[in-house]
Structure 1
């Protein structure tokens, strides 16, 4: 069942979204050569505690995971792209780091992700990150009343395939609001004009993620961290978006960013 949110409820989600956006901006500034992933995890824990927010990840136990998730942010490095467990690892020059954060404040959730490159970026990595960001922008632009869910998926797919990247369909975007995962599922690949008709009041987390040379994934022994099957580098971009009569409203827009 899809719950349509009122304008007042969307504003409450935007309050949460702005907190998520601010913390992701801080993580982007903190991620540098020599910084440990556990330091980034502890920063997020402190910010959540100070704000009185609730982590959507702590104790999360979906069917695909191995036991409850016991961290508050996903940090995925290089060929890891989703659900990366923060661990004792010092970032190196050129590392590609995907940061994914979802929290609730006063009963309303927001979810966002960004990918940053530590130190000196390689051109191929910049291109990959840019592809996910442009795919996200295209998906957001298609999230309008009267369009269909397939229009959003097709917009994301069009950018990714235009760059020449394959697309995995096992994990994608999703509805959210009172909880982190609600209906509908939003694939990163689809057919325009097909699927659920979009209505004002729907709130979606759109999250294109790509690996450079494969659409296949593997899980680490930790049961959570998802990597490209061939070891190629990856990137992930995500925003929480409200569909309104005036067009898409990005609830997790980061300060001084265009996306």
Structure 2
């Protein structure tokens, strides 16, 4: 939880990260159209982030239809956009201080599902203030999404962000609960409603392209050692994509490091096959009189 109001230097870094993220996300949305590959959009957005800020807080997530999170294209992925529900989730860091935002592009002809997540986010933001419990914010999200006739994804949630930590407390649920914590001045939180046509529970799929450093330890294998050195130097504790690594045998090295508990993998999280998921997300800092939206 917060240690109080952010100092001006820290707040300036969060603001810069948020401003860059808003610009890049707007530019990336314009690239999403049938015939364009997921990899083209991901690499465009990531290159723009690297150009305008210190780096990506995590790989660009491009989730399609029933996918909700942790989907990013592989190194040689040729998958093209077609007629699906497309969620773009991006993160930017400035000196490790993170802004996280997401938007849904509807190529499927289901605009109300997109509206449900967006209006749920608006309602959640209206509730943000010091002393407000996170469960109350979650209740606003749930009420709006269910009011549209959809279901919130109950086992995904918003979260705090901190320096070099893309997922920390407090947790912002996507449902009402009596077991929340009070928001405090200085909390920096990413609020992200997910609305779905499905049952509101995601499970792990088989695809895995995103990893982060779990623990640092010595490794004997040369390729694995080179991958670990790159991760520590360039990404620290932030998530990274397998396609970002320079080592020619990176995939084998990742498997070895994951088996040794050095790296943690993030499988794609999915609703039931045939369902659709939409997402909306902003990062805000809680202030004495409410909040400041860093990614608006």
TM-score with structure 2 length normalisation? Answer: 0.74
The one of 62, 74, 84 equivalent to 1:75 is 62
SS in structure 1 opposite 2:207?
coil
Aligned: 1:247 with 2:232? no
Is the alpha carbon distance of 1:102 and 1:211 closer, same or farther for their aligned partners in structure 2, counting shifts above 3 Å? same
- The corresponding residue for 1:100 is 89
SS in structure 2 opposite 1:226?
strand
- Higher helix share goes to which structure? 2
- The corresponding residue for 1:151 is 136
SS in structure 2 opposite 1:85?
coil
**Aligned residue pairs, count:** 233
Is the alpha carbon distance of 1:246 and 1:202 closer, same or farther for their aligned partners in structure 2, counting shifts above 3 Å? same
Aligned: 1:181 with 2:170? no
Cα distance in 2 for partners of 1:220, 1:239 equals 26
Is the alpha carbon distance of 1:163 and 1:202 closer, same or farther for their aligned partners in structure 2, counting shifts above 3 Å? same
Question: Given that residues 134 and 171 in structure 2 are in contact (C-alpha distance below 8 angstroms), is that contact kept between their aligned partners in structure 1?
Answer: no
Question: Given that residues 103 and 280 in structure 2 are in contact (C-alpha distance below 8 angstroms), is that contact kept between their aligned partners in structure 1?
Answer: yes
Cα distance in 2 for partners of 1:136, 1:20 equals 17
The one of 72, 89, 95 equivalent to 2:79 is 89
Cα distance in 2 for partners of 1:53, 1:5 equals 24
Cα distance in 1 for partners of 2:184, 2:64 equals 36
Q: After TM superposition, where is structure 1 displaced by more than 3 Å over at least 4 residues in a row?
A: 1-5
Unpaired runs of 5+ in structure 1? 58-71, 254-259
The one of 110, 113, 116 equivalent to 1:131 is 116
Paired residues for 1:1-259 under 5 Å: 1-6=1-6, 8=8, 9-57=10-58, 72-86=59-73, 87-92=77-82, 94-118=83-107, 122=109, 125-178=110-163, 179-191=165-177, 195-223=180-208, 224-253=267-296
Cα distance in 2 for partners of 1:164, 1:27 equals 30
SS in structure 2 opposite 1:249?
strand
Unpaired runs of 5+ in structure 2? 209-266
Question: Given that residues 198 and 272 in structure 2 are in contact (C-alpha distance below 8 angstroms), is that contact kept between their aligned partners in structure 1?
Answer: no
Deviation digits for residues 106-164 of structure 1 (CA, Å, limit 9, x no counterpart): 2311101110123xx51xx2000000000001111111112211211111111111112
Cα distance in 1 for partners of 2:22, 2:138 equals 23
How far residue 208 of structure 1 moved from its aligned partner, in angstroms, is 0.5
How far residue 105 of structure 1 moved from its aligned partner, in angstroms, is 0.9
Question: Given that residues 159 and 168 in structure 2 are in contact (C-alpha distance below 8 angstroms), is that contact kept between their aligned partners in structure 1?
Answer: yes
Cα distance in 1 for partners of 2:33, 2:272 equals 27
TM-score with structure 1 length normalisation? Answer: 0.84
Question: Given that residues 13 and 177 in structure 1 are in contact (C-alpha distance below 8 angstroms), is that contact kept between their aligned partners in structure 2?
Answer: no
Question: Given that residues 5 and 203 in structure 1 are in contact (C-alpha distance below 8 angstroms), is that contact kept between their aligned partners in structure 2?
Answer: no
Cα distance in 2 for partners of 1:249, 1:89 equals 37
- Higher strand share goes to which structure? 2
How far residue 52 of structure 1 moved from its aligned partner, in angstroms, is 4.3
Question: Given that residues 202 and 243 in structure 1 are in contact (C-alpha distance below 8 angstroms), is that contact kept between their aligned partners in structure 2?
Answer: yes
Is the alpha carbon distance of 1:229 and 1:202 closer, same or farther for their aligned partners in structure 2, counting shifts above 3 Å? same
